[in-house]
A and B are shown apart, each in its own frame.
Chain A
């Protein structure tokens, strides 16, 4: 298939790549531009590991063609850190242990950023709903929730009881959002 030039703006900087029109934004970021922080978990819009921000809105990079994103600002996990300083969401993820294997983490952080940029003081329910499209097979959801709230300045800190470690905000169960 014929390769065509596509101009992408990633984390504020312009890049021109030459790819087939069927190139997804995800593959363009990872393979053509080396932004491997955005992960590929399913390549079909079901897991959220490839979440990036397109014009500030969270999208699955595997579900967009690079062509469709021509000239539109794309923000990836690599753009979160400014001058060697972690973004408060990144810092909160470390502090709250909101990651285990870490594979879904960049996507979770980007989805959280999209939420907090729009709604700086979300409720726990709003956080859970905003992150429902980002799967974590390690089951880190309770701590991800805590980290996002903490990054938003909402503390859910429970006392550490030695030998009886408690760490979980009040949550609600299956069936929400149906």
Chain B
């Protein structure tokens, strides 16, 4: 009997209530210290071979017979009305098949109706104007040059603070403030809290616009097989793309197949449907041939999402003993020209510390720039930088150790709901991190050797990562005793297939070599959620375990009857059936061959999260830096990152996630920033030459630590998400280490040499005054 329940789920700091169907046996987590054979082990990736041989076919690698290419003409103006579009010359070029403009394609609403796939108005430099379909990419480029567009330039605004001023040019007729009002959260009374405090600290922190720069750009290959649309899409959610495409093109769900077998990185930028997907689908239908549209690196950096800038006015009040009495955050964040929902910049302020009086007020502002999208730990990376920087300033004023003030304010229960945590390993993370970086007894601040200054800093991390329903999986047992896991999830590079195979191997008592995993295809596996919000494993993993359990139960049913022995005496271990009632060993293969091609199919559904407890992930990072006072160069010598995401299924893939998160956090903290010419609205560094992502030479020593304690309350694996937590506290920890080294604080990211030198010169001015 199927059960329909109402449950609350969390996604990137926001809560949703939904009905879900659950089925299958409830299993409880393996207890701590259980003797597990596959789970918790360092397993190499089951798809490693495809990836090191170049055989893994990313969207970008799909080549179909008769396939043609699409290329998008983009606006050179930040805000303009399109007048005439002359496409005749382009259409006459040999090899050009069609030119799509707003005049000749259906007016399909896009981004919750904010605009259309192709539109008469363009709202940022890079907004889509036309799409050329041609036999080859070079021809597309010739055709783009041959199209003449008359633009009527309109007033524009680039800076979100200016966009809030009265009389600012409007991105949307209703105004530039997302939803027309700030997003406000309040508990207690902040003014009363400040009045009760002994000390107040107040500062403004700024973070830059970050660009994802996934190595595989966004793109799609579309082909119509009769009235059925097949899409190879570079997406973090195949079922989401299926739903949106079916709805926009008015197709039944069974006529849309979305495939994502290998993903060249997404980091949140590939969460929702792209215009390139719709244009490929429309184009393929028009010309009757498969169409591939892959964005180039520049388009990727103009139009495929970004971590929006933030300006955070933050004020903290505390007692002399360090106890927080009140926190007030007023944040302005950019949204770009189109936005679905803003990143939760106030999340850390609301959740990290036990503080009775808290207010967060967030203004998400439209500007004539490329649309924002979630970017690994959206909002929390920015919010943690401000909060953890100001906590250090508070500690400094109170002459307390930064770690001590955090322990002093450690939340014993969820400060928002008052619920107890399902598990919380933050104190252990602090202790282990402090020990690895030799926090206690560290050198005093501002120790110098020549021009070099040394410092250490730390920061804390909170994030969701509970995962939840709906998520489904099937486990098939083949007649040779091998098994196949089927689920509609995606592997965005985290190693999803490998950990799902480990879970199935454990539950089926089969060796991992005998398990294959099929994901990333809406026609193959059952529904799985988006691979974002650190929710893949904690959502899909428990469903896989139940499906494997169900398959094993069916196997025992069949085996007992084939072998004619009592069912309750039978067990299966390592693919061998054992019972006191049988003398010689019988393999699963022997039994299943007896019933010819009967295929066992176990079904599993993710159970809802428990009510009444607060489920979060925690962590702490410590940074050791060397700052050159003459050049302003910040060199990170060592990072220690200790995170608690419940049980670790595969320490090797989790350590890869942690190292990768730290490196992206270092890029955000030290080098990465989108630069826009505010007079022209043009992005000046939409490429990898001028937008500085970390290289092999920028990787410091990174020590990764995992608390690795199963969270027995959350799901049948005891796991929580691990993908986003490691990027969250990195920039804050480095900022605190830099302040420790040079004795003056940088409150604006990234901490480039010019800012370090400026900060140092300001300190000298203060000292000589």
Contact = CB atoms under 8 A, between A and B. Distances in A.
A43 to B, nearest CB: 6
A176 B696 CA distance: 10
Nearest to B494: A100
Contact of B55 (A37, A132, A142, A168): A37
B54 A132 contact: no
Contacts of B495: 97, 100
A164 B687 contact: no
B49 A94 contact: yes
Contacts of A175: 628, 633, 635
Contact of A37 (B53, B264, B634): B53
Nearest to B50: A102
A108 to B, nearest CB: 9
Interface stretch (B109-117, B190-198, B302-310, B699-707): B699-707
A162 B707 CA distance: 9
A143 B659 contact: yes
Contacts of A31: 63, 136
Interface stretch (B213-221, B326-334, B505-513): B213-221
Interface in B698-731: 698-709
A131 B656 CA distance: 18
A163 B708 contact: yes
A76 B55 CA distance: 12
Interface in A135-157: 135-145
Interface residues of A, number: 75
B57 interface: yes
A95 interface: yes
A36 B636 contact: no
B60 A137 contact: no
B169 interface: no
Contact of A44 (B651, B660, B687, B706): B687
Given A94-B44, A102-B264, A132-B696, A142 B215 contact: no
B688 A47 contact: yes
A171 B698 CA distance: 9
Contact of B215 (A30, A94, A101, A172): A101
A173 B694 CA distance: 10
B467 interface: no
A160 interface: yes
B697 A139 contact: no
Nearest to B658: A165
A97 B265 contact: no
Contacts of A140: 656, 659-660
Interface string A21-62: 011000100110011111111111011010000000000000
A109 interface: yes
Nearest to B657: A100
Contacts of A129: 696-697
A135 B706 CA distance: 27
B53 A77 contact: yes
A65 to B, nearest CB: 12
Contacts of B707: 163
B492 A141 contact: no
A167 to B, nearest CB: 5
Contacts of B56: 102
A16 interface: no
Contact of B708 (A95, A99, A162): A162
Given A137-B693, A174-B633, A165 B493 contact: no
A168 B708 contact: no
B51 A102 contact: yes
Nearest to A78: B54
Given A94-B45, A95-B44, A173-B636, A20 B138 contact: yes
Interface in A81-105: 81, 86, 90, 93-95, 97, 99-105
Interface stretch (B357-365, B455-463, B608-616, B662-670): B662-670
Nearest to A94: B48
Contacts of A20: 138
A177 B50 CA distance: 33
B52 A103 contact: no
Most buried by B among A27, A99, A103, A127: A103
A49 B215 contact: yes
Contacts of A171: 699-701
Interface in B475-519: 492-495
B63 A132 contact: no
A47 to B, nearest CB: 5
B246 interface: no
B60 A39 contact: yes
Nearest to B638: A173
Interface of B: 40, 42, 44-45, 48-58, 60-61, 63, 136-138, 212-217, 262-265, 267, 294, 296-297, 432, 492-495, 626, 628, 633-637, 642, 648, 651-657, 659-664, 670-671, 687-689, 693-709
Given A94-B45, A165-B648, 16 more contacts: A46-B687, A76-B54, A78-B53, A93-B48, A94-B48, A97-B45, A99-B45, A100-B494, A102-B52, A105-B51, A106-B52, A136-B215, A139-B699, A141-B694, A162-B708, A175-B635
27 contacts: A37-B54, A37-B55, A39-B216, A40-B60, A78-B53, A86-B49, A99-B45, A101-B265, A103-B264, A106-B52, A129-B696, A132-B695, A137-B215, A138-B215, A138-B656, A139-B662, A140-B656, A141-B696, A141-B698, A162-B708, A164-B705, A165-B654, A165-B705, A167-B652, A167-B704, A174-B633, A176-B697
